[in-house]
Amino acid sequence: MSKEKAIATPTKTNQILKKYGFSFKKSLGQNFIIDVNVLTNILKQAGVTKDSDVIEIGPGIGALTEQLAIHANQVVAFEIDQRLKPILMDTLQAYNNVDIVFQDILKADIKAIMGEYFKAELPIKIVANLPYYVTTPILMRLLMERLPIDSITVMIQKEVADRMAASPGTKSYGSLSIAVQYYTEAAVALHVPKTVFNPQPNVDSAVLHLQLRDQPLVQVDDEAFFFDLVQAGFAQRRKTLRNNLSRHFAGTFDKETIENKLQAVDIDGTRRAETLTIDEFASLARVFAKNENE
């Protein structure tokens, strides 16, 4: 398909919007991509081929969906905005390997839908231009459900992408970095200017690639407790780890006990959480959980 005929051009996008009298809903975070080169880059980063099935989230008027349909085996797209139904039926009518599911991805039975639409034993990739206001809830649900997926490649707010892929000791590193990297190998694949969207967002964007791990990065006995401890450590970034943990576990452990636990895993309580690796947090969680469960 020539770039001139693709949906993802300013002219074609405006024609479609005008034809259907479509108005953007700010509450849904709708920003449509109008640059085919950006979409080509996203597919390249995701490794989409005819030997892969794809789940898309928030197809909009079908710009990314169209490119996925051309390059993938099968595409299933989740869309929350029912107003887009006639538009997508029009823009994607040439492709028999696309199914649109008009459900909220946060409420849908994703595993059941995957089983219904993906018949072949092909790797499943998630590729999307995500609504920025709900990026983290969507990604964490996808990861925590342990879905049988190969990778996730998404356009999101640059600041959030940087946080998810951040390394210890950096300003962006936090509990979100650890939660995402526990399940995946995370990398910011490319930065994207505001000019490739209609309407233009108020924030800078980036494409984040998450390669799912076969096993979590660290082994912990209680995942819920592990993530709770991590969040406690980052509760107030400028405070020491000792202070944050003392505040969080007040009534459960006294300060002396907390200090003993820190020393047991050779972690200096005057450090800040942002300097700890995920392995150090896992060691700390094991020590705290051991005593809490006794």
| Mean pLDDT of all residues in 214-240 | 95
CATH code of the domain covering residue 99: 3.40.50.150
Q: Are residues 228 and 194 in the same domain?
A: no
How many DSSP H helices and E strands does the chain contain? 12, 9
| 138 assigned to a ligand binding site | no
Q: Are residues 57 and 193 in the same domain?
A: yes
Q: Are residues 187 and 126 in the same domain?
A: yes
Does pLDDT of 245 surpass 60?
yes
| Mean pLDDT of all residues in 71-97 | 96
CA 54 to chain centre: 15
The angle subtended at Cα 293 by Cα 291 and Cα 294, nearest 5°, is 65
User: Peptide bond preceding 137: is omega within 30 degrees of 0, i.e. cis?
Assistant: no
d(CA 150, CA 46): 10
Q: Are residues 99 and 240 in the same domain?
A: no
CA 231 to chain centre: 18
Domain containing residue 245 = 223-292
Q: In this structure, is residue 253 part of a structural domain?
A: yes
| 150 assigned to a ligand binding site | no
Give percent of the chain with pLDDT exceeding 70.
96
Q: In this structure, is residue 3 part of a structural domain?
A: no
Q: Are residues 132 and 231 in the same domain?
A: no
Does pLDDT of 293 surpass 80?
no
Q: In this structure, is residue 239 part of a structural domain?
A: yes
| 129 assigned to a ligand binding site | yes
Look at strands 184-192 and 205-212 and give their pairing.
Answer: antiparallel
pLDDT at site 132:
87
Q: Which of 177, 212, 247 is the last residue before a domain boundary?
A: 212
CATH code of the domain covering residue 286: 1.10.8.100
d(CA 248, CA 271): 16
Tally the domains of the chain. 2
d(CA 236, CA 243): 9
Q: In this structure, is residue 16 part of a structural domain?
A: yes
d(CA 22, CA 30): 11
3 C-beta neighbours (distance < 10 Å), count: 12
| 41 assigned to a ligand binding site | no
pLDDT at site 2:
45
| 33 assigned to a ligand binding site | yes
Does pLDDT of 109 surpass 90?
yes
Report the chain's mean pLDDT, rounded to a whole number.
93
Q: Are residues 109 and 50 in the same domain?
A: yes
Q: Which of 185, 212, 239 is the last residue before a domain boundary?
A: 212
Does pLDDT of 294 surpass 50?
no
Q: Are residues 191 and 230 in the same domain?
A: no
pLDDT at site 27:
64
Quick: pLDDT tens for 154-207.
Answer: 999 999 999 999 999 999 999 999 999 999 999 999 999 999 999 898 889 999
Give the helix ranges, DSSP H, for the chain: 10-20, 36-46, 63-71, 85-91, 110-117, 135-144, 158-164, 175-183, 223-233, 241-248, 255-264, 278-292
| 79 assigned to a ligand binding site | yes
d(CA 50, CA 27): 35
Q: Are residues 115 and 147 in the same domain?
A: yes
What sign does the dihedral 194-200-202-208 (CA atoms) show?
A: negative
Q: Are residues 165 and 286 in the same domain?
A: no
Q: Which of 161, 178, 212 is the last residue before a domain boundary?
A: 212
**Which pairs with CB-CB distance under 8 Å and at least 24 residues apart come from 141-146?**
141/105, 141/106, 142/110, 143/179, 143/180, 143/183, 143/184, 143/210, 143/212, 144/183, 145/110, 145/111
Q: Are residues 116 and 262 in the same domain?
A: no
d(CA 151, CA 139): 11
Question: 237 vs 147, 234, 249, CA distance in Å?
Answer: 32, 5, 17
Q: In this structure, is residue 217 part of a structural domain?
A: no
Look at strands 53-57 and 124-129 and give their pairing.
Answer: parallel
